Structure 1
Amino acid sequence: MLSSKLEVLVDFGDKPEPQLLEKTLSELKLRDGIHEAVFKDGAIMVETSLPSTEVLDVVTKTSGKRAVLQGFGETQSAVAMISSQSCCKANVMGVIRFQQSEEGPLVADGSIDGLSPSSLHGLHVHDAGDLSQGCESIGGHYNPYGSPHGGPEDPQDRRHAGDLGNIVADENGRATFRILDNVLKVWDIVGRSVAVTEKKDDLGRGSSPSSRVDGDSGTPIACGIIARSAGIFQNPKRICACDGVVVWDERDRPIAGKGRRRDTGDAGDKDSCCRKETQKKPCCKV
């Protein structure tokens, strides 16, 4: 299976303790799906066919230290921060990273929390990177070939290019996935959006009229704009100048909104936010 290279920063301090570093590297090398793990330029470089979240979990549990993914892939990469785009709805959020291999498939590597326990949800790339009305303004599925809706295993004339199939949430409502796709290219999707739907995608094989449109998967419950991102050893950032969040703290803080900043956070709270949203959209249920 196609592997990806990850740059994992671990909060070892000024100088890693040799025994702890060796223990972490050894544990990584023992895992099926991890082909290489070395300490290089202050970070652990991992070559793996596993989802990046699984690699981070191994590093965190073995080292007892905080760990973050600093770089993904050696060639062209992109990332989307997924959220519900609404304080009235369920708090679904996560990250999806895209890597374009030179002559092979696109890799979509993600982890999304806040889904219904033990459920399936459609995953699609959409035409527009417009979040002015939340997930309602991202347009239809990315479909440059004018094809009907289908599944990720279908040829491009029998699927939208943006049809990535389904992701599976575990009993805690987390979906961790690594999808290989032979139709999408990362340079075609930067600036567009990716969305998770409320229901399972029937891959265009259902009896509903909407099956050949969107797989009868319902409306998007979380979405985000796809932007270019750093490959391994291309991002020197250790602190975000815009909000003062140290790189180690990012896993413990919301992607945006109250609680993101190092100070007291943004003004207002969820209730006031939801009241404002309800005034704009009477159909929004508080």
Structure 2
Amino acid sequence: MIATKLEILVDFGPKPDMCCVEKTINKLKSVDGVKQACFKEGAIVVETTLPSSQVLDLVTSASGKRAVLQGFGDTQSAVAMISSGSCCHGGLVGVIRFQQSPQGLIADGTIDGLPCGSHGLHVHASGDLSDGCKRIGEHYNPNNCCHGSPTDPPSSRHAGDLGNIVADNTGRATFKICDEVLKVWDIIGRSIAVTERPDDLGRGDNPQSKIDGNSGRPIGCGIIARSAGVFENPKRICACDGVVVWDEKGRPLAGKGRREGLKPCCQNHKDKVEKENLNKASPKI
């Protein structure tokens, strides 16, 4: 499996306890699949073949602190936020990150809320989520080929055919895929979807096999958008509402629940921003 670089922010505070930092680094280095780990520019940088969610869990466990993924990959990157509807009210949620490498496109993801078992994973032609996953179009297929397996040659598969992911008995699928056909710059603005059934990889007897692997309807999808690579995102606090970057984990991007339970300092920041905006909007006499 190809290694990727991760930039992980850990809530060490303004003056990191270097004993805690060293303990976290040593724990990472002891794990199979972690090639390098170091503390640089206030973040832990890890080169690993493991899915990013597993590395985040390792960092959280070793440090005892909150941790979030700040940068993914050292080349052009993208990300898709997966949900089961046009907003985030469904039970299926996840994140898939993409990075272009010399060996191919890496798709690194975790999706929760899936039925236990295998599910097809495909890049679709459209990024229209105005009606949930109903308008994302067919599989991305620039060469007008039949549906197939990601191991098939480009002439015998859709470019968007990524095979299957497997959810465990908790409903979580964690995966890291390398695909030699897709390119990250070709899929930005399109969508990626997970289906209700396994993909038969074009080998089945059903007429749908050569169309979509007889994998059924999409049950979760997301638009693929550009994202930051390692040390390409300097953000530590959201200027609009004062939510620090590690507080954003598990929160909606806006609206109800965004600021629930935040520290008073964040509320003071929000009040200050709102007051400044009000002053700017007030007519001068």
| TM-score (ref. length: structure 1) | 0.88
In structure 2, distance between residues paired with 1:140 and 1:192:
11
In structure 1, distance between residues paired with 2:7 and 2:164:
27
* Cα displacement string for residues 183-231 of structure 1 (whole angstroms, at most 9, x for unaligned residues): 0000000000001111111111111111110111111111110011000
Alpha-carbon distance, 1:67 to partner: 0.4
In structure 1, distance between residues paired with 2:128 and 2:222:
9
Q: Check if 1:7 corresponds to 2:32.
A: no
* Cα displacement string for residues 50-87 of structure 1 (whole angstroms, at most 9, x for unaligned residues): 10000000000111101000000111000001111157
Relative to structure 1, the CA distance from residue 19 to residue 5 in structure 2 (aligned partners, 3 Å threshold; closer, same or farther) is same
Among candidates 123, 130, 140, match of residue 121 of structure 2: 123
Q: 1:49 aligns to what? A: 49
Alpha-carbon distance, 1:244 to partner: 4.0
* Cα displacement string for residues 18-67 of structure 1 (whole angstroms, at most 9, x for unaligned residues): 11111100000001110000000000000001100000000001111010
Q: Check if 1:219 corresponds to 2:214.
A: no
In structure 1, distance between residues paired with 2:123 and 2:59:
30
| TM-score (ref. length: structure 2) | 0.88
Q: 2:207 aligns to what? A: 209
In structure 2, distance between residues paired with 1:238 and 1:20:
21
Secondary structure of the 2:248 match is helix
Secondary structure of the 1:22 match is helix
Larger Cα-atom Rg: 2
Secondary structure of the 2:230 match is coil
Secondary structure of the 1:130 match is coil
Percent identity between matched residues is 68
Among candidates 139, 142, 145, match of residue 144 of structure 1: 142
Q: Check if 1:73 corresponds to 2:96.
A: no
Higher alpha-carbon deviation: 243-252 or 76-85: 243-252
Amino acid at match of 1:108: A
Alpha-carbon distance, 1:259 to partner: 1.6
Q: 2:18 aligns to what? A: 18
In structure 1, the gaps of 5 or more residues are: 265-286
1:68-217 mapped onto 2 (5 Å cutoff): 68-85=68-85, 90-101=90-101, 103-116=102-115, 118-217=116-215
Secondary structure of the 2:8 match is strand
1:249-268 mapped onto 2 (5 Å cutoff): 249-254=247-252, 258-262=256-260
Amino acid at match of 2:129: L
Alpha-carbon distance, 1:15 to partner: 1.6
Amino acid at match of 2:112: D
Aligned residues of 1:243 and 1:262 also touching (Cα < 8 A): no
In structure 2, distance between residues paired with 1:122 and 1:29:
33
In structure 2, the gaps of 5 or more residues are: 263-285
Relative to structure 1, the CA distance from residue 90 to residue 262 in structure 2 (aligned partners, 3 Å threshold; closer, same or farther) is closer
Aligned residues of 1:245 and 1:262 also touching (Cα < 8 A): no
Alpha-carbon distance, 1:119 to partner: 1.3
Alpha-carbon distance, 1:260 to partner: 2.6
